[in-house]
Structure 1
C-alpha cells in the first residue's frame, strides 16, 4: 500500500507516521511519500528524516520517500492525505491580523480568515485532484486541510476523485462523553458542518441519554481541556439545554461572538500583541529544532502544544476503516445525499457515518431544531458561494459570500477588508484584483 501526504513538511507529520506505525499489523503500508513545495524543502527534509528514523526504530517493512515532485509521488497511490497551507504560516497570520485590525474575528477557518484561506486553497486542491484523476484514479483523498468543509466539497463536486474530509475537533466531543460516563461503550451521533457541529444523540445501554445528560455534558465540557486554539469560555447550561444538542467548541465563535472577539482583541492589543498563528509559528520553530536531533526517533511530546491532538487517530483510523471495510462509525465530512433534507444532496456535511470500502454511509439523525436548520442553511450557502468565488475569481460573488457570514462586518468595510486581503495575498491569488 502506498500512502502520499501532500504537505509532508508539516510539523504534524510525526503524528500521522506514528499512526501508521501503530496500525501496521492491520494497515500494511509499504511506502509513504512525503511531498512538499520548494519553499517547504528544508522542513520536509528535517521532518522527513525524523519520519525515516521513526519507521526504522519501529522495525516495520515500510520506506519513507521525500520529494518535491507531486506527480512522481502520486503514481499508483492507494491513499492521498492533504495537510498543506497555501502561503505557509505567514498567510495564516495575515488572515488573523487584518480582520482584527478592523474589529472582526481573526481566525484561520472562521469568518474572513477562513474565507481567504478557502480562496487560496481550493484551486490547489482541485489541481491535486486533477493529477490524481490521471495518476491514481482509484485512490482515496483524505483531506485534513482547512477549511475542511469547503475544501472537501470542492473536490467532491468538481472532480471524479473519491474524497472524505476529517477533523480532529469532533473527537473532543467523544472524549468528553467518555469522561462524563466513565465508559467508552457508547455511540455519540453528531451532525452539522465542519466547525459547526452538534452532538445530536448519545446512545448508551439501549437508550438515547443525551436529553437527560446534556447538563452533565456541558459541565464536563466546561471543566475539561478542549481544543487548544479555541478559548474555553464556559457554556451556559440553560442555553445548551434549550438548544437540545451539545455544540462543538468552534460554535463559540457564533454563539459567544462578542466574548471571543474581546478575547482576541485583548491579545492583539492594537497590533502590538500576538495572534494564535504567531504563537504556533514559535511552537513550530521549537519543534523543528527538536526534529533536527539525529537521536530523536519518536514523536516528541512537545507536538501537543501545536494543537491537532488526535490527528493521527482520525486520519489513520479512517484509512484503516476504508481499507479493511470494518464498518467503524466515525465523524467525517461527506456528501449529504439526503441526510439533512434542507440542504442540497451534493453539499458536504460533517456527520457520524459507517465507514466502508465504498466510502462513508451517514447515519440518520432526528430532525434538527429549526434554529439549527436555519444556521446551517446560511453557513452552507456562504460556503457554496465561497467555493464558487474561489474557482471563478468573481469579486461580486466574494462580496455576496462575505455578506452572509455572521462573523464579518457588513457594508463598505467588507469591500475594504477584502481589498486589503487580496493585496496581502496577491502572490497566491493570481485571478484576483482589488476593486475601488
Structure 2
C-alpha cells in the first residue's frame, strides 16, 4: 500500500537481492496516484528483470483487488502527501515547538490523518484475507501499530532505525552486521542502544570501546553533542535530538526550509529518473530520500512471519505484554522480539534507567491520548494529547497548537 512511493524501488531491490530469504511470486503495488504508480511499477519490473528474478509486478488503484490472495501487506502511506508533511514541519514553529512529522504536534497531526485510513485498509485486508500479515512502516509507527493491534489485526510495526545503527556499528568495528546484537529499547523513534553485544544477547558488550573510539563520529551523525553520549554511555536514536536539543532544533528549523520541501524536490527528480526506460536499478539519489535498509528489514520480517521455523530475533514494534512493566500491556514498544508465524513476542529486557523510563512513560501516555483522538476525534482530545506530550506540556501552547493543527488538516479530519 503506497506502492507509488519513491521509496518502493528500495524495497524492490531488496526483494530481488534477497530472493533466497523471501521467495516472491507476485508483488502488487497499490496506489491511487496512477501517474506515479506506473513510473514506479515500470522501474520495479526492470529491477527484477535485471537481477534475473522471475516475480511478477502488478500495479493497481483497486485496493480490494490488490490485497486478494496476499500473504503479507506492507503499509507505507503518507496521507496528505508532502504538502501535509510540510505543514507538520512548519506550523508548530509559530508556537516555539519543534516541527516534525513523527513527534510533537506535527506527529500528532500525522497520526490523526493516518490512523482512520490505515484501519479502513486493514479491515478490507481482513475481509479478503483474514490470515494475511500486515507490516506497518507508516509513521508514526508506534501509534499506527497500536491502532492495528487494538482492532485485532495481525500486525507488526517496522522501523529502520535499529538496522541502520547495527550496520553503522558493524562498519566502524569491522564486523558483519549479523555478528552484532543490539540492546535496543524504548518506543518507536524514542529508543536507546544500551549495549552492542558480539554474537548474541549474552555476548561481550562492545559499546564502551565503540564510544571511546568513535564517539565523535557517532555524535556528528546523530547531530547530538559528543558530551551527551559520553554522559549517557548509550547511543540514542536520531529522534532524541528533538528532546535533548529541542530549542537548538527549533532555531535551526526557523532558519532553513522544511525537510518536506527538500524531499518534494528530490521526489520529482527521482520520478524523472524512474521514467527512463534504460534505468534498471535503484538510483544513488534514493539513498538521500531516507529509509535506508528498509528493504533488508522488511524482507527479514516478512520471511519470519511467513516461515515455518521457530522464529528469529528482530527489532520490531509489538505489544508490550509486560516487557516494560511500568507501561500498559497494550502499549507498543520497540525492542528485540522473536518473530515467527505466530507473530512477534518481545524478549525480556533489563530494567530501564529512570532517566529513560520517565521519558518513555510520558510519551507512551501521549500516544494513548493521541490514539484516542485519532479514533474518536474532537478538539478537546487533541488538546489533551498535546498537553501530555513531553515536548509541549503547557496549556496555552497546547490550545494554540490544537487550533493550528485543525486548521491545517481539516480536509483529512472527518470530525473537524
Q: TM-score, normalised by structure 1?
A: 0.90
The correspondence of residues 331-370 of structure 1 with structure 2, limited to 5 A, is 331-370=315-354
CA distance in 2, matches of 1:365, 1:420: 40
The residue number in structure 2 matching 1:207 is: 204
1:387 lines up with 2:371 in the alignment:
yes
SS of alignment partner, residue 390 of structure 1: helix
CA distance in 2, matches of 1:326, 1:179: 29
**Unmatched 5+ residue regions in structure 2?**
none
1:329 lines up with 2:313 in the alignment:
yes
CA contact (8 A) 1:99 1:112 kept: yes
CA distance in 2, matches of 1:308, 1:18: 13
1:195 lines up with 2:189 in the alignment:
yes
The residue number in structure 2 matching 1:271 is: none
Structure 2 counterpart of 1:264, from 218, 243, 253: 253
CA contact (8 A) 1:132 1:161 kept: no
Residue 424 of structure 1 deviates from its aligned partner by: 1.8
Summarize deviations over 1:267-316 as a string: whole Å, max 9, x none: 1xxxxxx2000100000000000000011111111111211111111111
Residue 331 of structure 1 deviates from its aligned partner by: 1.2
More divergent stretch after superposition (403-412 vs 18-27): 403-412
Summarize deviations over 1:237-275 as a string: whole Å, max 9, x none: 3x43443432111111101111211211121xxxxxx20
* Count of residues paired in the alignment: 410
Residue 212 of structure 1 deviates from its aligned partner by: 5.7
CA distance in 2, matches of 1:242, 1:54: 46
SS of alignment partner, residue 69 of structure 2: coil
1:8 lines up with 2:23 in the alignment:
no
Residue 101 of structure 1 deviates from its aligned partner by: 3.0
Residue 175 of structure 1 deviates from its aligned partner by: 2.2
More divergent stretch after superposition (93-102 vs 8-17): 93-102
CA distance in 2, matches of 1:88, 1:350: 26
1:53 lines up with 2:49 in the alignment:
no
Structure 2 counterpart of 1:296, from 279, 287, 293: 279
The residue number in structure 1 matching 2:117 is: 124
The correspondence of residues 297-312 of structure 1 with structure 2, limited to 5 A, is 297-312=280-295
Summarize deviations over 1:382-403 as a string: whole Å, max 9, x none: 0010000000003212111101
SS of alignment partner, residue 141 of structure 1: strand
CA contact (8 A) 1:180 1:216 kept: no
CA distance in 2, matches of 1:211, 1:297: 43
SS of alignment partner, residue 315 of structure 2: strand
CA distance in 2, matches of 1:418, 1:371: 29
CA contact (8 A) 1:322 1:358 kept: yes
CA distance in 2, matches of 1:309, 1:179: 15
CA distance in 2, matches of 1:177, 1:54: 29
The correspondence of residues 36-435 of structure 1 with structure 2, limited to 5 A, is 36-37=31-32, 40-158=33-151, 160-184=152-176, 185-204=179-198, 206-211=203-208, 213-216=210-213, 218-223=215-220, 226=221, 232-237=222-227, 239-267=228-256, 274-324=257-307, 325=309, 327-408=311-392, 410-432=394-416
SS of alignment partner, residue 182 of structure 2: strand
CA distance in 1, matches of 2:198, 2:56: 42
SS of alignment partner, residue 255 of structure 2: helix
Residue 220 of structure 1 deviates from its aligned partner by: 3.9
CA distance in 2, matches of 1:180, 1:49: 37
CA distance in 2, matches of 1:65, 1:213: 45
CA distance in 1, matches of 2:271, 2:414: 31
Q: TM-score, normalised by structure 2?
A: 0.94
CA distance in 2, matches of 1:319, 1:217: 33
CA contact (8 A) 2:136 2:145 kept: yes
CA distance in 2, matches of 1:315, 1:204: 23
CA distance in 1, matches of 2:214, 2:157: 26
CA contact (8 A) 2:219 2:229 kept: no
Summarize deviations over 1:186-218 as a string: whole Å, max 9, x none: 211211011100112222263334356544463
CA distance in 2, matches of 1:92, 1:103: 18
CA contact (8 A) 1:139 1:161 kept: no
Q: How much is the aligned-residue C-alpha RMSD, in angstroms? A: 1.8
CA distance in 2, matches of 1:305, 1:180: 21
CA contact (8 A) 2:242 2:249 kept: yes
CA distance in 2, matches of 1:18, 1:211: 35
CA contact (8 A) 2:166 2:180 kept: no
CA contact (8 A) 1:321 1:327 kept: yes
**Unmatched 5+ residue regions in structure 1?**
1-5, 227-231, 268-273
